[in-house]
A and B are shown apart, each in its own frame.
Chain A
């Protein structure tokens, strides 16, 4: 954010501060918090059977006549220019239809950057793509080959000869720190927080810890690599994409290629995992350009290696945390300083320094983060951006502080848990982290933990237990819309350009629509995944469920008014006002007098309508300005560390979550578990290997980038408080990302409890424990 945007946010904050709570959306708690039929159940995923049968069609599988396959040539230097380029052998190779380089690529505008001000923009960087001879990172695409088969394209790509004029590239983190820059804002917060003279309080405190924690560059590695099947039809562009930003991608492609937004269609009914990576990157843009040039449909399906060279990850971080406390554990000062990499062309923030501003009450804060500008691929958001590395540092530091004071780590958190926003003083909409701790501790058996490290062993294995808090802010996106249609048999159809990456989007909104409109599940259908449907913002920030829920809720209000109007006077409902009726049994009925009712089918039949359709929209999320809205969690880990080899094996994980009401126990459990497994990977194995001499990523396969295997993943117990948040639709907050936060700290803390060794740099590979 710019200074200007900061000022706007500040201004809005000042105005809203005077608005009474009841004026805000959600001021009266959503009645569906308590009135649940389908919600809160265990419905299986609507998309499950098709996926199991292989009938779900992913972007790289869309059948297409006359298709060409793309292969990319990546630059082998980090900075400089292409001096000579020989594509003749490639052009002459069997099956080749086109070789595209900066010499013949069509004119394209730079991608419009993703941000809160333009929800139809999805660019992760603002660099020109294949418009000049410049090389800006090692791995940038320098040529695209289109051929009749993928194999032919891949082969021809190897025949392209590229000569470079390299110049000294900046690819070293340590060196770059010296010239790091300090942004004014971190997402919607001011970057620098200096409150209550933290420096002095640190100096005077009875107990303090001051340490540096590091997390490596990480990549998402969804099971489905990025892919698009692209076709130009009569001047219009259709992209079958694997994306969690359907409208952002459509809007961006329109900008880049100078098209009307309505002339770009993006279809993405199924996505094989995204975690933040499935946005707009160079591959779609280059595929669209090549399809235009070749005048034929094109399929781009990235190899794992291309994925690592073209799709950004989570930046490495270096975080200094200092905590000061009284003898009774009361926090006196919290200092959180640090560095991440964010090239100037990169858009996504990794706001790790936000974590410490919401979790604990504290007398003073000294918080700021800096970015190192390097000649590297832009970052993207990765599950739990900011809080995932942020909780690692803060929550290890809390454990260190507890140990220094000689206090139980849960007790230290209990003494300091925030009861309102520690910085702004705003009230929580709902927050019950210690309830989550109590639930989790009971299930986990925390009382069995020995405070003294290194006390439990089985043979060569030292056993340890650890805990850590997780947190992620609530977000609801404006603009997300849903069309709700009632047909003349009274069935309901919900449609929105929302995203299904395996989380259960359609499944849960079907439960929601059924309960909202008083119907059984089997009379509701949900269609998502295409830009021809009403606008939806991205599947990110754990915001999609709340945004869709707000939109369906808004639509239901419109439906009441429309249905009453259509029903006219010749109905038992005649004379009732919208506030005097409710949805029930597939129709409307009087709240006071349920005998006064009429079904949707009857109303539509009588009014001669084949269907009734309204669009509802999730309004501006003013509640997040009035309230402090964060989900929290308590993570527990028991593990063992081999005294011989330093290998860590995790025996158990327990995650207890305070995320408002849970809408579907089954899909929620898998979201939480998946998140925790990602946290486990971060703790133990995951690391993108950047060779700092060349700016080259070396870990470009799943053999070299270690995600956890089944054997690494222990039994995971998932619990939740299920306390409704009265300020959110359905009483629910997002659950997609919080699972990843706090896990790495719980694991590192358990390693300390097992061995007495404090490892502050991830991943916790065995050599650090020998």
Chain B
């Protein structure tokens, strides 16, 4: 870790003004501080935004408006989240540990970086994300946790967040504030695939602040929703894969399906082909399986993660089958 200055922002404008070119926003610090200590990242200044307003309120349209500094624990416990967007509460509670969730903020969770071990090993491993052009040791190394979709030969890392998988499924929108003013980006467009520039992970511009996350009004398929995370131990481990699913039925047929996958790509993966394929179909395990395979046609497993394709299929079918049962 290099020496740096610490600034506590008094409000949003103060935060934006103080960030400067090399400054970084500090949420709960549960990821950024580790990265700084391991010299994966460097910063001259930390602008602490964790004590800025952290409110959760209903939006005019009937959705939910969540300030970026809301803690993961508070979001998961909120009654409106639990009743209208249970998938989000489940996803949050499946992540990290209670202590980390007490610190972690919504903004920080969205911007947390991959857990690829080669990304973290500054002294001993090559990583294109850390040092463009250096090479990727994960490609033929330990890549059990890595991507099967949307990766490139430059980078096969995954985005590790659980919360974001639920947000992707819910069509959440991210509110940003920066030099160019305010803008809004759907969460599914926020993270970008690695291509030849794996160091670029989001559409965020330097100095941009995430101010809030907005959830659209609830619908049958967000209320009847579930998050299932598959991991190497029963708690406190990142997802090997995860499935956020939501299902609305009408007349014994799928009216709407919402499916997002975690642990498979550099971004939460919205399974849009499956969602479309299912509309109007009977909600059977066979139909679910056939549908998810349409998204997984593009899967390119690595040396250590080919099990993920079958695992996604089975988990997705189990999640949707259960949802079909509760909706029947």
Q: Please judge, given known A-B contacts A155-B1, A645-B315, whether A685 and B121 are in contact too, CB under 8 Å.
A: no
Taking chain A's interface residues, is the majority helix, strand, or loop, or is none over half, making it mixed? loop
A645/B314 contact (C-beta < 8 A), A710-B235, A766-B230, A766-B240 known: yes
Nearest Cβ in chain A — how far from B1, in angstroms? 6
Decide if A645 touches B311 in the complex (CB within 8 Å).
yes
Q: How far is the CB of A755 from chain B (nearest CB, A)?
A: 15
Task: Report whether B233 and A709 are in contact in the complex, using a CB–CB cutoff of 8 Å.
Answer: yes
Q: Which of A667-723 contact B (CB under 8 A)?
A: 684-685, 689, 691, 693-694, 696, 698-701, 703-704, 706, 708-712
CA of A17 to CA of B115 in the docked complex: distance in angstroms?
A: 60
Q: Write out the residue numbers on chain A whose beta carbons fall within 8 Å of the beta carbon of B233.
A: 684-685, 706, 708-709, 711-712
Contact A460 B2 (CB under 8 A): no
Residue of B nearest to A694 (CB): B124
A610 nearest CB across to chain B (Å): 53
Q: Which of B3, B117, B231, B315 has the most CB of A within 10 A?
A: B117
Chain A contacts for B310, CB-based, 8 A? 770
Chain A residues within 8 Å of chain B by Cβ, number: 37
- Docked pose: A700 CA to B120 CA in angstroms: 10
Taken together as a complex, chains A and B put the C-alpha atoms of A693 and B230 apart, in Å, by 29
Q: Which residues of B contact A154 (CB under 8 A)?
A: 1, 37
Q: Quick one: closest B residue to A691, CB to CB?
A: B141
Of B3, B142, B307, which is within 8 A of A767 by CB?
B307
Given the interface pairs A645-B315, A706-B232, the reply to whether A698 lies near B142 with Cβ below 8 Å is yes
B117 and A689 form a contact (CB under 8 A): yes
Compute how far the CA of A694 lies from the CA of B240 in the bound complex, rounded to whole angstroms. Answer: 25
- The complex places the Cα of A709 from the Cα of B98 at a distance, in Å, of 13
B137 interface hit (Cβ, 8 Å):
yes
Given A691-B137, A694-B124, A698-B142, residue A644 in contact with residue B318 (CB < 8 A): yes
Q: Residue B125 at the A interface, CB < 8 A?
A: yes
Selected from B117, B124, B232, the residue in CB contact (under 8 A) with A765 is B232
B-chain residues with CB within 8 Å of residue A711 when the two chains form the complex: 233-235
Chain B residues lying within 8 Å of A689, measured Cβ to Cβ, are: 117, 142
Q: Which residues of B contact A76 (CB under 8 A)?
A: 123-124
Cβ–Cβ < 8 Å partners of A155 in chain B = 1-3
Partner of B3 from the list A74, A94, A645 (CB cut-off 8 Å) is A94
Say yes or no for A346: interface residue by CB 8 A criterion.
Answer: no
Q: Does A435 count as interface, using CB distance less than 8 angstroms?
A: no
Q: Are A698 and B118 in contact (CB under 8 A)?
A: yes
Contact B3 A647 (CB under 8 A): no
Which B residues lie within 8 Å of A704 (CB)? 115, 117
- Judge whether A151 is part of the interface by a CB distance below 8 angstroms: yes
Answer yes or no: A749 CB below 8 A from chain B CBs. Answer: no
Q: What is the 8 Å Cβ interface bit string for chain A, positions 628-668, against chain B (1 contact, 0 not)?
A: 00000000000000001111010000000000000000000
Cβ-based interface call for A138 (8 A): yes
A158 sits at the interface (CB 8 A): yes
In the bound assembly, the distance between CA atoms of A138 and B124 in angstroms comes to 9
Q: How far is the CB of A645 from chain B (nearest CB, A)?
A: 5
List residues of chain A with CB within 8 A of the CB of B314. 644-645, 770
The yes or no answer to B237 lying at the interface (CB within 8 A) is yes
Chain B residues near A138 (CB-CB < 8 A): 124
Chain A residues within an 8 Å CB radius of B140: 693
Q: Give the contacts of A543-588 with B (CB-CB under 8 A).
A: none
Q: How far is the CB of A682 from chain B (nearest CB, A)?
A: 13
Residue-wise, chain B 282-302 has the 8 Å CB interface mask toward A (1 for contact) of 000000000000000000000
Interface residues of B (CB under 8 A from A): 1-3, 37, 39, 115, 117-118, 120-121, 123-125, 137, 140-142, 144, 230-238, 240, 307, 310-311, 314-315, 317-318
Q: Could you pull out 21 A-B pairs where Cβ atoms are within 8 angstroms?
A: A74-B124, A76-B123, A76-B124, A94-B3, A155-B1, A155-B3, A644-B314, A645-B230, A689-B142, A693-B141, A696-B124, A696-B125, A698-B121, A698-B142, A701-B120, A703-B238, A706-B232, A711-B233, A767-B311, A770-B307, A770-B314
